[in-house]
Structure 1
Amino acid sequence: MLQIDVNEGETVEARRVRVASLVREQAGADLVVLPELWTTGAFAYEEFGGGAEPLDGPTHDVMAKAARDAGVWLHAGSIPERDPDGPLYNTSLVFSPSGDLAAVYRKIHRFGFDRGEAVLMGAGEDLVTVRLPDTRLGLATCYDLRFPELFRGLVDAGAETLVVPAGWPERRRAHWTLLAQARAVENQAFVLACGTAGSHAGVPQAGHSIVVDPWGEVLAQAGPGEEVLTVDFDPGRVAVTRDRFPALKDRMLGLAPPRR
């Protein structure tokens, strides 16, 4: 996980080049994860319109090439997406090791309480998972972390590893760690929550990206500054945990049809 410092003195173009270089340095990894809205900053609301781009825009091109060069699966965080037929979206892009766009997720829960992102961007409608060789990712973004029903839906769709890029503020850092662990425990899944460092429009960022296992144990956690957080884990532990402690089988509300 690449915990990027979104430095307001750095141009978006320079940051793309720098982040692409960091991705290439992770050659040999299975999966690389970037934070939410690392091109503009999650709280830089006035930058959303000018920084918005289509799905096949410059961030797509640079990240696709970086994934291909490194030979990794790349969750490229999220960008402000400009849909030519609709509103702006907070949109995550996932690339395969060949550089193909494997998945797109538009953030469902927008933060702001009728301000900021909540009024500037449209809400996504689709739960998104993507199959990797050894696990199925379930995609969510930042504020989504507060809504457990979204993660239940991802688990019902087969997710075993929940990936949450974020631009989480420092003043609510305790919630960040607590919620990441809660989502892991209740869904018996790995949680990879990747935040940003630095400051977005004067809002200090929490950093402290975190990897949590299906039992709620913290496998690794970053500090407050820019950092590359590397962790090895066995995706097979999801099935083992769910088999040894089959709590998901006892759900009484919102049961999904059995998967065949």
Structure 2
Amino acid sequence: MRVSLIQSAVEAWEPTDERRRRVAEKVRGRAGDDLVVLPELWTAGAWAYDRWDQDAEPLDGPTAEAMSAAARHAGTWLHAGSVVERDTDGTLYNTALLFDRSGELRGHYRKMHRYGFDTGEATLMGGGHAVVTVPADFGVVGLAVCYDLRFPELFRGLIDAGAELIAVPAAWPAARLSHWRLLTRTRALEEQVFLLACCATGEHGGMEQGGHSTVVDPWGTVLAEADRDEQVVTADVDMAEVSRIRSALPVLRDRVLGLEPAARR
């Protein structure tokens, strides 16, 4: 199967509607791909906190509408990165959206781990609680977002829920690029999954983005990687590799901790 990561620039000067139109056009051009992944909060900017309230939208808002149409046009599964979702009670969430080839929204995930410690996302957004996997026609897709990469227990939960491929939209800072490159390989290797990590590029909210979107196989081998420019990264992956590698090196079978509650003493 063919996968593509659309490493899109998020710049403060570009109107949200124009960026939405521009990215939708790129998705429509990916006919022949099986899965396309976009970055985190690419409409508003993951670091542009002052834009979140005005750019927040419901799950069926303008971004979902545009991405649904683009996925249907291209005939591809589309992980539309994430949007600032406004729930009916007014709470904001960093929410990832996954559409199928017909443009139907097949799953959404509210980011569990909110970055910022005592500022930004950690204080302005609510946190999700559900581990989300979605069966696709090529395998089971697990959903995570950016800062989630630092929490291996979520990724273990995703494989326990059947994930064979995990998509991670991100807006990772350029200053910590070495962490990004290490963590993406580590999460793929330890969970024996394909990991598709799509990071924004450009600068917004005063934060320079790291780019270097990457496709990593279940051995932890980088199959494709972007640089810092706006670009599309494409790779061919064989989903049968997941079961072959898990059989050849059955580390997941040999787990001891985390399978059953610890015995009380």
* TM-score after normalising by structure 2: 0.96
Alignment of 1:82-161 (within 5 A): 82-161=86-165
Partner Cα distance (1:256, 1:108) in 2: 23
Matched, 1:74 2:103: no
What code does the residue aligned with 2:203 have?
A: S
Q: Distance in 1 between matches of 2:130 and 2:118?
A: 22
> In structure 1, what is the equivalent of residue 219 of structure 2?
215
Residues 173-229 of structure 1: CA distance to partner in whole angstroms, max 9, x if unpaired?
A: 000010000001110111100000100211100000011100010000001010100
How many residues are aligned here? Answer: 257
> CA RMSD for the aligned pairs?
1.0
Q: Select the residue among 234, 254, 263 that pairs with 1:230.
A: 234
- Please state if 1:254 is matched with 2:258: yes
Output one character per residue of 1:111-144: Cα deviation in whole Å (capped at 9) or x when no partner: 0011000000000000000111121110000000
Structure 2 residue identity aligned to 1:161:
L
Look up the SS of the partner of 1:230 in the other structure.
Answer: strand
Contact kept in structure 2, 1:169 and 1:204, CA below 8 Å: yes
Instruction: Structure 1 unaligned segments of length 5 or more: list them.
Output: none
5+ residue gaps, structure 2, are none
In structure 1, how many angstroms separate the alpha carbons of the residues matched to 2:240 and 2:139? 8
1:197 equivalenced with 2:201 (yes/no): yes
Match of 1:60 in 2: 64
1:255 positional shift: 1.2
- 2: CA distance between counterparts of 1:165 and 1:81? 15
Q: Partners of 2:260 and 2:221 in 1: how far apart?
A: 27
Counterpart of 1:175 in structure 2 is 179
Q: Pick from 7, 10, 13: which aligns with 2:14? A: 10
Contact kept, 8 Å, 1:73 with 1:96, in 2: the verdict is yes
| Corresponding residue SS for 1:250 | coil
The structural deviation recorded for 1:256 is 6.4
Q: 2-side partners of 1:188 and 1:95: how far apart?
A: 24
One-letter identity of the residue aligned with 2:180: W
Of residues 244, 250, 255, the one that matches 1:240 is: 244
Sort the Cα spacing of 1:45 and 1:144 in 2 relative to 1 into closer, same or farther, 3 A: same
Amino acid in structure 2 at the alignment position of 1:16? R
Q: CA–CA distance in 2 between the matches of 1:256 and 1:58? A: 43
1:218 & 1:47 partners in 2: Cα distance? 34
- Residues in 1 aligned to 2:198 and 2:63: alpha-carbon distance in whole angstroms: 18
